[in-house]
Amino acid sequence: MEVNFGLESSRIHELRAETRLKAVRIAKEKAAAMVGEVGAKLGKIRTLDEYKRPELPPYGGFGGAASNVAYFDAASALAPDVSTGTFAPGAIEVRVTVYATFEIE
């Protein structure tokens, strides 16, 4: 037996915007924790995108003075559009994946 439910909200755009900002904040926090673990600091943001994962050159870095670059994929912990298998009446799950690249200091 297969059952499908479709829930909609008049606030979906607002919820996606809030979720997107939260995803960016989490990506930055996780990247800072990761580089902090190896004794470095998180530098400026190089790329930030919701839809396209940046391509990395071979052996990391982007060449030139910006060769110290950390690539963090916020989706690595949980793939986008994966159902948790839990149904909460009246709730809509909103998922956003962001891709962020930071310099390492």
- Per the CB < 8 A criterion, the answer to whether 68 and 104 are in contact is yes
Topology of domain 12-104, CATH: Translation Initiation Factor IF3 (3.30.110)
- Per the CB < 8 A criterion, the answer to whether 74 and 15 are in contact is no
pLDDT class of 39 with cuts at 50, 70, 90: very high
Average pLDDT on 52-77 reads: 51
pLDDT class of 2 with cuts at 50, 70, 90: confident
Residue-level pLDDT at 78: 45
Residue-level pLDDT at 65: 43
Q: What is the pTM of this model?
A: 0.61
Structure tokens at 66: 């910006």
